[in-house]
Chains A and B, each alone.
Chain A
């Protein structure tokens, strides 16, 4: 589970803070939701006058009938405008949040399946909140009062009934909302768990198949799936119950108005009549009655959007990355000095502790040692992908603790280089987008990649053999103008003959750079100027 610290005091505050830059669009969306009041009043008035005049002269009813019809059409168009503005608002805010998440995901590194869920599902949960809930919230605050004010013109007493019934309505909404919030959060967590479980088990599918563990794994998934069902069910019940209560109040209020108006017209009220109604007024108030509660009911229906968004917030918060000065490394190979370096991930015991090493400019150093001894972690230090818990790494004159990382200024090759859809040349060019075709050709040649650089390669590395993939990684390292070369197990899973061929190429790539190689291979270690056993 992600337990990123929340910078703002609560999810609600974070959401508000995130939406702040889009204030004007937010207000516009809210105003459009409020604008819905005008056609609602127009329709109620038109219908009331139609019914009132239709009996005596059907022709006189025509303008009123037209008013009712055009009001409804206007209502549809205003609604569509609200959708368009809401959708744009949603896209803007989602883009903002997603960009921050992506920058953190790729900038801070590390594995993060739950962060992948955050980028897709978590960000998606914001959409309903900003495009529906926020405008409806504004409408819920204003529209009922506006409609009641209009109703007061026709029948002040009915307006009083509206106001009076509005209070328990709002109280009920708050009660239901609070009860649902906790359940909704738990439901979101269950969904994340299920999603993570699928990702994990599909990744492990070869092992599951090989060990005939399909039935057991399916049972695991059925359990998580059942749990999600139970949680969702609880959330739904609460949501439906609260919307049922609201609907009941609104239906009751409509009935109350109908009965009051009817008895007033019949002059049968059990108390002194506060006002004299006629048919158009009574009908107008009756037609307005559902509209008073409509904005609040819509808000209640969108309440789920708010809960989904608030539940998603903890996964969406990105830690504030400290502002650092970018250190530009010199062009010539630098000296590197590790002083009392420690690397510890989270609370776990340090992988590396009290590590001292001095490397002269241009030296090749092989880091060897048992698996898990921290070879890769030392290389990742330069990229900011492993934490410098204590000590200092000095590269030339720059200190790692101040620079944070030297990302973008390092040549890197491993056994599994990134492959993007495109040509082989495009893939090499990734290391230095400014490189001209000539330099790419040279780099490819020096890495032992011959033949057509235009041949297409798909994302899964189709069209490249295992050896060619490694050479692609090496070609990038050669192309990159960087004073430091880091190699992570460059020859793993190669047979001795292929390894020997790679070694010559690697030797070429190390010229003029300070090189660190993490390796198990004795042959690779033999190539180094110095071997450091961890």
Chain B
């Protein structure tokens, strides 16, 4: 089911276009009416005044013969029509775009989260937000501008028609001028606007990334007096964005200048071409020329944003085009064999992983629980080679408390419920076993106390224990705890481990605990020492302690 990289975002956008086609059609119809009405309004006014002037000069008989009721009524009708149609076009077009974007954002997040772990977890959060908010916004023009060709076409046809009524040559001249206008605009868009628009998108992502990474280390920056340096680093990155934005504005300016020039040329070509026609028709043709070129303005606006939209779509595509794994068999039971060890383990077995820092303990744990792409022949899960088991199928077997606990910016309850729906009683029991219940109870908001972005309102140890409680709430066959008691004082550590032991006996879950502290591994039946990561990427192991199976 691998999809070609170019198609995924295109498919999503096409699906949204399909879903919003009613609104988009209304927008196109509105745009068409606006262009025709606007062209006719000014052309007719010019014709009317000129005709009136000639009739007025010619005397009362001519005045009587001059039909002024129809044109003056039509002028008013066109004015109303233009206004109403413009409103409908804008509302329908933007509504379609906004609704489409609102659906695209969660779809893209889902696509990102479903990507292979190496890709999904590589994206920095600033970059991800830039893509899901700004890039999706930039794609908006792909929907809004859908009515532009219709408006352009209708404006062009009606203007050429009006000019052609004065003389066919005038109509032809106007068509040529409109062609010239469009060609020049497209050229400016490709040469100037598109690269600038792309650069704006890229520079915005770069700035967000830079800010996020610098902000993460602010204490050290402050200690060494590097806060100004960091500010100027960020300002330097931001100036790149400013430059790109200026280039984009200027490209827009050139397009407008080109439009004005071509309008002048169109008038200069159309007026002489009406030689021989009546004066009112010359006036009509001249004004139609002005309006015909103006009808192209909508397209020009869309063209200016095109570069940004294309770059945004390209980046979103890189985000969404992650090839999903072909469907693979899911393990039917929870037995685990580490190939370097060869012993089959199954819950309620308790396995300890020890070893020096950087030896690959966490890597191994992340490969098991599906947060890292697994290597072939490294382990077997439910009798299957782990590399053949999709991360989505590995995850249900494990409840994982990572070394680096990630919390969402919400309440204690929100974070616990990430593990799945649960009663308050179960939440409190989990907090109790993680030695965090007292702390939560002491807060007036209790379970509804907010943890802040990144869990900043909690201390490191509290975050760790909240992560532990969250893992307890997930009833998977294996509980995988990475350094569960790091940062805890010995008393709390002892409390946590006693509760863990009790909990495991009760639930029958298996335990895989990664730690360099002696206390957690004392709960284990088997202890394996992780020696390091071999050249082929596999983790090297030696068994250090083997107790009789319970």
Query: How far is it, in angstroms, between the C-alpha of A148 and the C-alpha of B76 when the chains are bound?
Result: 22
Residues of chain B contacted by A412 (CB below 8 angstroms) = 219-220, 223-224
Contact assessment for B357 and A262 in the assembled complex, using a CB-CB cutoff below 8 Å: no
> Which of B89-97, B326-334, B374-382 is found at the contact surface with chain A?
B89-97
Contact assessment for A254 and B45 in the assembled complex, using a CB-CB cutoff below 8 Å: yes
Contact assessment for B68 and A69 in the assembled complex, using a CB-CB cutoff below 8 Å: no
Residues of chain B contacted by A459 (CB below 8 angstroms) = 213
Query: Is B508 part of the binding interface, using a Cβ–Cβ cutoff of 8 Å?
Result: no
Query: Is A267 part of the binding interface, using a Cβ–Cβ cutoff of 8 Å?
Result: yes
Q: Mark B236-259, 1 if CB is under 8 A from A, else 0.
A: 001100100110011011101111
> In the complex, what's the smallest C-beta–C-beta distance from B443 to chain A, in angstroms?
9
> In the complex, what's the smallest C-beta–C-beta distance from A312 to chain B, in angstroms?
15
B79 CB contact (under 8 Å) in A58, A121, A255, A418: A255
Q: Is the interface of A mostly helix, strand, loop or mixed?
A: helix
Contact assessment for B246 and A87 in the assembled complex, using a CB-CB cutoff below 8 Å: yes
Contact assessment for A73 and B261 in the assembled complex, using a CB-CB cutoff below 8 Å: yes
Query: How far is it, in angstroms, between the C-alpha of A205 and the C-alpha of B114 when the chains are bound?
Result: 11
Q: Given known contacts A65-B271, A73-B264, is B128 in contact with A199 (CB within 8 Å)?
A: yes
Query: How far is it, in angstroms, between the C-alpha of A486 and the C-alpha of B222 when the chains are bound?
Result: 12
Q: Given known contacts A86-B249, A203-B406, is B452 in contact with A251 (CB within 8 Å)?
A: no
Query: Is A436 part of the binding interface, using a Cβ–Cβ cutoff of 8 Å?
Result: no
Residues of chain A contacted by B87 (CB below 8 angstroms) = 240-241, 244
A205 CB contact (under 8 Å) in B204, B222, B406: B406
Contact assessment for B222 and A405 in the assembled complex, using a CB-CB cutoff below 8 Å: yes
Contact assessment for B56 and A267 in the assembled complex, using a CB-CB cutoff below 8 Å: yes
Contact assessment for A283 and B204 in the assembled complex, using a CB-CB cutoff below 8 Å: no
- List residues 221-246 of chain A with CB under 8 A from any CB of chain B: 221-222, 225-226, 228-229, 232-233, 236-237, 240-241, 244
Query: Is A263 part of the binding interface, using a Cβ–Cβ cutoff of 8 Å?
Result: yes
A266 CB contact (under 8 Å) in B68, B130, B264, B456: B68
Closest residue of chain A to B89, judged by CB? A240
A218 CB contact (under 8 Å) in B82, B98, B110: B110
> In the complex, what's the smallest C-beta–C-beta distance from B315 to chain A, in angstroms?
14
Residues of chain B contacted by A204 (CB below 8 angstroms) = 406-408
| Total count of chain A residues near the partner, CB < 8 A | 154
Query: Is B345 part of the binding interface, using a Cβ–Cβ cutoff of 8 Å?
Result: no
Q: Mark B95-135, 1 if CB is under 8 A from A, else 0.
A: 10011011101100110111001001101111011101110
Q: Is the interface of B mostly helix, strand, loop or mixed?
A: helix
Contact assessment for A200 and B395 in the assembled complex, using a CB-CB cutoff below 8 Å: no
Q: Given known contacts A262-B48, A418-B217, A520-B487, is B370 in contact with A68 (CB within 8 Å)?
A: no
Closest residue of chain A to B113, judged by CB? A214
Query: How far is it, in angstroms, between the C-alpha of A94 and the C-alpha of B483 when the chains are bound?
Result: 46
Closest residue of chain B to A373, judged by CB? B459
Query: Is B339 part of the binding interface, using a Cβ–Cβ cutoff of 8 Å?
Result: no
Contact assessment for B282 and A210 in the assembled complex, using a CB-CB cutoff below 8 Å: no
Query: Is A4 part of the binding interface, using a Cβ–Cβ cutoff of 8 Å?
Result: no
Q: Which of B101, B245, B260, B452 has the most CB of A within 10 A?
A: B260
> In the complex, what's the smallest C-beta–C-beta distance from B181 to chain A, in angstroms?
12
Residues of chain B contacted by A214 (CB below 8 angstroms) = 110, 113-114
Residues of chain A contacted by B234 (CB below 8 angstroms) = 102, 106, 119
Closest residue of chain A to B247, judged by CB? A87
Q: Given known contacts A119-B211, A127-B245, A213-B418, is B489 in contact with A408 (CB within 8 Å)?
A: no
Query: How far is it, in angstroms, between the C-alpha of A105 and the C-alpha of B234 when the chains are bound?
Result: 11
Query: How far is it, in angstroms, between the C-alpha of A207 and the C-alpha of B404 when the chains are bound?
Result: 10
Q: Mark A67-90, 1 if CB is under 8 A from B, else 0.
A: 011111101110110111011101
Q: Which of B83, B217, B245 has the most CB of A within 10 A?
A: B83
Q: Which of A55, A201, A212, A258 has the most CB of B within 10 A?
A: A258
Residues of chain A contacted by B456 (CB below 8 angstroms) = 111
> In the complex, what's the smallest C-beta–C-beta distance from A395 to chain B, in angstroms?
14
Q: Given known contacts A83-B253, A371-B459, A412-B223, is B79 in contact with A252 (CB within 8 Å)?
A: yes
Query: Is B63 part of the binding interface, using a Cβ–Cβ cutoff of 8 Å?
Result: yes
Q: Given known contacts A266-B56, A371-B489, A520-B487, is B409 in contact with A200 (CB within 8 Å)?
A: yes
Query: Is B283 part of the binding interface, using a Cβ–Cβ cutoff of 8 Å?
Result: yes
Q: Which of A86, A107, A123, A411 has the most CB of B within 10 A?
A: A107
B83 CB contact (under 8 Å) in A221, A244, A283: A244
Query: How far is it, in angstroms, between the C-alpha of A277 and the C-alpha of B49 when the chains are bound?
Result: 11
Contact assessment for A370 and B222 in the assembled complex, using a CB-CB cutoff below 8 Å: no
Query: Is A112 part of the binding interface, using a Cβ–Cβ cutoff of 8 Å?
Result: yes
Contact assessment for A206 and B72 in the assembled complex, using a CB-CB cutoff below 8 Å: no
Closest residue of chain B to A405, judged by CB? B222
> Which of B7-15, B157-165, B225-233, B537-545 is found at the contact surface with chain A?
B225-233
Contact assessment for B109 and A69 in the assembled complex, using a CB-CB cutoff below 8 Å: no
Closest residue of chain B to A460, judged by CB? B213
A221 CB contact (under 8 Å) in B109, B212, B406, B516: B109
Q: Mark B418-435, 1 if CB is under 8 A from A, else 0.
A: 111000000000000000
B50 CB contact (under 8 Å) in A119, A283, A489: A283
Query: Is A217 part of the binding interface, using a Cβ–Cβ cutoff of 8 Å?
Result: yes
- List residues 425-479 of chain B with CB under 8 A from any CB of chain A: 439, 452-454, 456-462, 464, 467, 470, 474
Residues of chain A contacted by B94 (CB below 8 angstroms) = 233, 236, 240
Residues of chain A contacted by B249 (CB below 8 angstroms) = 83, 86-87, 131
A120 CB contact (under 8 Å) in B55, B105, B207, B218: B207
Contact assessment for A494 and B126 in the assembled complex, using a CB-CB cutoff below 8 Å: no
A268 CB contact (under 8 Å) in B68, B283, B399: B68
Contact assessment for A202 and B128 in the assembled complex, using a CB-CB cutoff below 8 Å: yes
Q: Mark A86-121, 1 if CB is under 8 A from B, else 0.
A: 111011001100110011011101111100100111
Contact assessment for B257 and A76 in the assembled complex, using a CB-CB cutoff below 8 Å: yes
A465 CB contact (under 8 Å) in B53, B355, B358, B489: B358
Query: How far is it, in angstroms, between the C-alpha of A198 and the C-alpha of B112 when the chains are bound?
Result: 12
> In the complex, what's the smallest C-beta–C-beta distance from B244 to chain A, in angstroms?
11
Contact assessment for B264 and A473 in the assembled complex, using a CB-CB cutoff below 8 Å: no
> In the complex, what's the smallest C-beta–C-beta distance from B473 to chain A, in angstroms?
9
Query: Is B41 part of the binding interface, using a Cβ–Cβ cutoff of 8 Å?
Result: yes
Q: Which of B56, B460, B474 has the most CB of A within 10 A?
A: B56
> In the complex, what's the smallest C-beta–C-beta distance from A178 to chain B, in angstroms?
20
Q: Mark B378-404, 1 if CB is under 8 A from A, else 0.
A: 000000000000010001101110111
Query: Is A51 part of the binding interface, using a Cβ–Cβ cutoff of 8 Å?
Result: yes
Q: Given known contacts A232-B98, A266-B68, A385-B218, is B357 in contact with A202 (CB within 8 Å)?
A: no
Query: Is B341 part of the binding interface, using a Cβ–Cβ cutoff of 8 Å?
Result: no
Query: Is A208 part of the binding interface, using a Cβ–Cβ cutoff of 8 Å?
Result: yes
Residues of chain A contacted by B256 (CB below 8 angstroms) = 76, 79-80, 83
Query: How far is it, in angstroms, between the C-alpha of A368 and the C-alpha of B260 when the chains are bound?
Result: 74
Q: Mark B70-84, 1 if CB is under 8 A from A, else 0.
A: 011001100110111
Query: How far is it, in angstroms, between the C-alpha of A152 and the C-alpha of B214 when the chains are bound?
Result: 62
Query: How far is it, in angstroms, between the C-alpha of A272 and the C-alpha of B541 when the chains are bound?
Result: 107
Query: Is A308 part of the binding interface, using a Cβ–Cβ cutoff of 8 Å?
Result: no
Query: Is A316 part of the binding interface, using a Cβ–Cβ cutoff of 8 Å?
Result: no
Query: How far is it, in angstroms, between the C-alpha of A83 and the C-alpha of B80 when the chains are bound?
Result: 33
Contact assessment for A492 and B63 in the assembled complex, using a CB-CB cutoff below 8 Å: no
> Which of A14-22, A353-361, A444-452, A495-503 is found at the contact surface with chain B?
A495-503
Residues of chain A contacted by B263 (CB below 8 angstroms) = 72
Q: A94-B242, A109-B222, A277-B53 are in contact. List 17 more A-B contacts (CB 8 A).
A: A51-B286, A70-B264, A73-B261, A76-B260, A83-B250, A106-B221, A106-B234, A196-B453, A200-B453, A208-B113, A259-B75, A265-B49, A266-B66, A290-B42, A492-B487, A495-B357, A520-B487
> 13 A-B residue contacts at CB 8 Å?
A73-B261, A76-B261, A80-B256, A103-B231, A120-B130, A199-B126, A211-B418, A213-B420, A218-B113, A244-B83, A259-B72, A265-B56, A371-B489
Closest 3 A/B residue pairs (Cβ): A371-B461, A408-B225, A372-B459
